[in-house]
Amino acid sequence: MSNPEDPRERFKRPLERPNLNLPPRRKEPAEAPAQEAGLPAITPQQPQQQAPAATHGLARLLEAVAKMLQPKPQPDPKQQTPQPPATPTEAPLFTVLVAAMNGDSADGAASQALYKLLEGKTSLKVKPFPRPFQLDVMDDPALTAAVVTNTRHTVAAENADVLVWGDITKDGYRLRLSTASMPDEDRPTTFGPACRLEFPAKLEEPQLHLLYGAILAAIEPANQVQRAGQRRLLPLAAPPLEAIAAKVPVAWSMPQQRTAQLVQGHACAACALVVPPSQAGEWFQRAANAYRAAEKRLNARTDPPWEAGLIHKYLAAVLTARAERLKERAAEYLEEAVKEWRAAAESVGKTTMPQEWAGLQMRLGTALYRLDLLTGDTELLREALQALQAALQVHTRAEAPQRWAEVMHIIAQVLEVYGDQLKSPEVLKRAVDACQSVLEVRSRDRTPLAWAATRNTLGSALFLLDRHGGGVNHLLQAMEVLEEALEVFTTHGAKGPAQVAARNLGHVRKLAEDRKARQVIDPDWAGR
């Protein structure tokens, strides 16, 4: 019995091509099969003895496969040039105008440097604006109003979101930020014309972080895309600001160091307004801490009193917003806010900055009114009326009718609550008169929501006047004006005010039904 053949022997034999009487092949270069197959080119060594053609082909193939299986040599890391990680390009979300700086050189070097500083931010579309804006003093209400109006119109005309403007001084940049809308004193991140950002003349990375954070905080989003972008970008911009504020360069002047604290406070306050309520408390606290740190960098001997007044104002606005948004410990935070509003109104003089002073009186009166709603302290309402009436010394009906109407509407609300607490028809009648005066300025066509808000206050005051003073006519009038207010709120999608108006209207209708049920018709025979 023969030994079985070892299977491995078959793989050692040279392959033999059967004789099929085919024409001979055209001879190709040795490296062609490997190149056509996508394999590395092979240069076979010259054998000492000529081997069969089939053996040559198999040998070349096996050698090519062996080289493919060999580990590839690793490149020397010292000879490699590191490539930066690719960053996704982001379409600009906000348009920023950079105005020509007052006091700049003839070639506009400082203005161009500011423009180039912001140009690297992919979320911003930066546009130069050749016209400068100047505001030297704040004691002229007409001049201040004119500059604010001009900057607002510029932002709107250029279809931008914010305007950066200001001056070049011996210490560096003094910048202000403006948007297309009027400065909203109820918004804690409002900059306004009095808010100045001081930067050294040489613009570097810290100034970029600070100015970028200030711009994000100042912008009022125009659509859902911008709101989502602001909500995403603000928390990302906050850590660099916190690092700068924690260790401000000692070479910076005190106003420049205060700017670092101020911008951090505004950015944190803006974060508190866009993040979920569960995270807002921490951001509000960070903002308050930053403003208090800025206050410590004030020098009572060299800095004007209104500098302290502005910091008290920012802190008061943050405390007020926290009390209204989170509701937790609202009375405690509102009480602290009232103290800051008082300090701000005392620090900012009526003659030095009349517009700021009047705005502070208005916000103080509003905070006192809201605190009374939580505590029922009648003394707060008396102080509120005094502050609001003081604001009318600047916000007159002739010169600022819309602002006058805003203050008068708050006065009407205070009188309504005050009259209800005292059960005084005289005070409630004053509330009704105040509402009717406001409606001479506010119209349903031009300012529908403001008009509806005044009608809602009027209806509530008429209802209370009827309840404390009698008279069916007041109740019917209250029902009519509240129905009109509810209609406008519903038409314009104002859900919160619509709910308030509907609730007030429900109280009026219920009282009217109760009175109708209690009416007794006296029959003819009753008097015989």
The amino acid at 264: Q
Average pLDDT over residues 39-53: 44
Whether the pLDDT of residue 64 is over 80: the answer is no
Span 146-188, pLDDT tens digits: 999 999 999 999 999 999 999 999 999 999 999 998 777 778 8
CA 238-206-187 angle, to 5 degrees, is: 45
pLDDT at 119 over 70: yes
What are the residues facing 198 on neighbouring strands?
A: 174
d(CA 37, CA 45): 21
Assess contact for 389 and 415: CB atoms under 8 A. no
Is pLDDT at 143 greater than 60 in this prediction? yes
Mean pLDDT of the 222-239 span:
95
Q: Is the pLDDT of residue 355 over 60?
A: yes
* Confidence tier at 139 by pLDDT (50, 70, 90): confident
Report which of 190, 186, 201, 113 is spatially closest to residue 148, judged by C-alpha positions: 190
Higher pLDDT, 174 or 15: 174
Least confident of 22-26, 298-302, 355-359: 22-26
- Predicted confidence at residue 73, as pLDDT, reads 56
pLDDT reported for residue 38? 41
Q: Considering the entire predicted model, what is its pTM? A: 0.78
- Average pLDDT (414-443) is 96
The confidence score (pLDDT) of residue 83 equals 52
Domain 423-519 class?
Answer: mainly alpha
DSSP 461-503: HHHHHHHHH--HHHHHHHHHHHHHHHHHHHHTT-HHHHHHHHH
Residue 202: closest CA among 167, 172, 179: 172
Q: What is the mean pLDDT of residues 238-251?
A: 95
Phi-psi region of 200 (alpha: psi -120 to 50; beta: other; left: phi over 0): beta
Which of 246-255, 472-481, 517-526 has the highest average model confidence (pLDDT)? 246-255
Structure confidence at residue 192 (pLDDT) = 87
Interaxial angle between packed helices 401-422 and 448-469, expressed in degrees from 0 to 180 and rounded to the nearest 10: 20
Identify the band that residue 518 occupies on the pLDDT scale cut at 50, 70 and 90.
confident
Which amino acid type is present at position 455?
R
Average pLDDT over residues 76-85: 51
Tokens 């930020």 sit on residue? 177
Tens digits of per-residue pLDDT, 368-408? 999 999 999 999 999 999 999 999 999 999 999 999 999 99
Q: How confident is the model at residue 43 (pLDDT cuts 50, 70, 90)?
A: very low
Rounded distance between C-alpha atoms, residue 346 and residue 357, angstroms: 9
Cα gap 212→286, rounded to integer Å: 18
CA distance 237 to 94: 15
At residue 181, the pLDDT reads 86
What confidence score (pLDDT) does residue 145 get?
83
Average pLDDT of the chain, as a whole number: 85
Give the DSSP H or E segment for 176: strand 172-178
Cα 515 to Cα 507: distance, rounded to the nearest angstrom? 12
**pLDDT tier at 92 (50, 70, 90 boundaries)?**
very high
Q: How confident is the model at residue 67 (pLDDT cuts 50, 70, 90)?
A: low
Domain boundaries, the chain: 423-519
- Say whether pLDDT at 15 is over 90: no
